[in-house]
Amino acid sequence: MQTPVVTRFAPSPTGFLHIGGGRTALFNWLYAKRHGGKMLLRIEDTDRERSTTNAIEAIIDGLKWLGLSWDGEPIYQFARAARHAEVARDLVVKGHAYYCYATPEELTEMRERLKADGKPMRYDGRWRDRDPSTAPEGVKPVIRLRAPIEGETVVEDQVQGKVTWANKELDDLVLLRSDGTPTYMLAVVVDDHDMGVTHIIRGDDHLTNGARQSQIYQACGWNVPVMAHIPLIHGPDGAKLSKRHGALGVEAYRAMGYLPAALRNYLVRLGWSHGDQEIFSTEEMSQLFDLKNVGRSAARFDFAKLSNLNGLYMRQADDEALLAALEDMLPHVEGGADFARALDNAGRKRLLAMMPGLKE
């Protein structure tokens, strides 16, 4: 019997739902649908400084607007900190991790020296085999993974293919901070395992993390989920998508009047293809989507093509549905609230009558 597919979308709530994150969520959602599985939502809020409830709401709101849904309640990573710490301490007991008493200042100094010498900036393992009884007074230790030194770590990626690292390139990462809270690297592995995630589909900026996380899985004695690192979305100039490119969050696309169906269609074709087909209904893409046809190179965002698709979806839209979409959008667009207030039933009727011409 094959285990059912479980994917997940795991944003960190430090801003709004990034357009790239929206596509990642879409791919996870489609993959789960295609295989009759589930998509889970996990909020990665372990960075207490930067995580805000506003951002959590914005992400959930953005996903809903995009028409994406998830199974069960969202999991909040911070709430699971005790479990993460327990795994880290268990790893120490088993000899797969150790306490490191190096201070942040000491490590910064170490990195600066390595950089000056033109050496790779990796933790040098100074506490890996040192007797803890020689620990300095008053320093709270972190827990580091005792990563393998020899051999190699391989990620059998569904998009990138087989990717190999020499273990000597990967240093002993921190699992548990000195204040007892988990790092991202540990939390992700423990949560994905506990949540029964079978497929990790995320941006390829996480590819190296995939290797490091594989090492944690191995230390824990757990199976590594299937991984798929999808290419990133770049701005029209080929540089990483940033504020200066304009619309970063999906809510900005709503405010510009794009239809969710058009944005989904645009996003799914960024990196994925099915022969020459350009237009996919949501139903269709959830039947056709696969990892095999996801490309490996970054795609540039093209507003002209998005607009073209949006026009196409508008012209095809049912008049009532388009009016509903308009009213739905009004509160989010500048000056829209006034328009919405002035829109009575008579106005609505008039708008509906004009819609066939308007949408052309």
Residues within window 25-54 making contact with RNA, judged by CB under 7 A: 44, 46-47, 50
Output 26 or 270, the one with its CB closest to RNA. 270
Note the maximum CA span of the chain. 83
Give me 264's structure tokens.
């989904």
- 349 flagged as catalytic: no
Question: d(Cα 7, Cα 197) in Å, to the nearest integer?
Answer: 6
Given the residues 33, 94, 140, 243, select the one marked as catalytic. Answer: 243
How would you class 252 by CB atoms within 10 Å of its CB: exposed for 0-12, middle for 13-18, buried for 19 or more?
middle
Residues near 278 by Cβ (< 8 Å), separated by ≥ 6?
269
Which of 8, 234, 245, 254 touches RNA by CB under 7 A? Answer: 234
| Cα distances (angstroms) measured from residue 143 to each of 74, 95, 138, 174 | 28, 11, 16, 6
Output 304 or 342, the one with its CB closest to RNA. 304
Output 27 or 37, the one with its CB closest to RNA. 27
Which of 161, 221, 283, 342 touches RNA by CB under 7 A? Answer: 161
Output 134 or 164, the one with its CB closest to RNA. 164
Q: Quick check: 269 binds RNA (CB under 7 A)?
A: yes
Between 61 and 100, how does the x/- string for binding to RNA read (CB under 7 A)?
----------------x-----------------------
Q: Quick check: 113 binds RNA (CB under 7 A)?
A: no
Rounded to the nearest 5°, which phi and psi values hold at 13?
Answer: -80, 65
How would you class 358 by CB atoms within 10 Å of its CB: exposed for 0-12, middle for 13-18, buried for 19 or more?
middle
Provide the H-helix boundaries in 52-147: 53-66, 81-93, 104-116
Between 296 and 335, how does the x/- string for binding to RNA read (CB under 7 A)?
xxxxx-x-xx--x--xx--x--------------------
Q: Quick check: 293 binds RNA (CB under 7 A)?
A: yes
Residues within window 200-219 making contact with RNA, judged by CB under 7 A: 204-209
Output 278 or 327, the one with its CB closest to RNA. 278
Catalytic residue ranges? 243
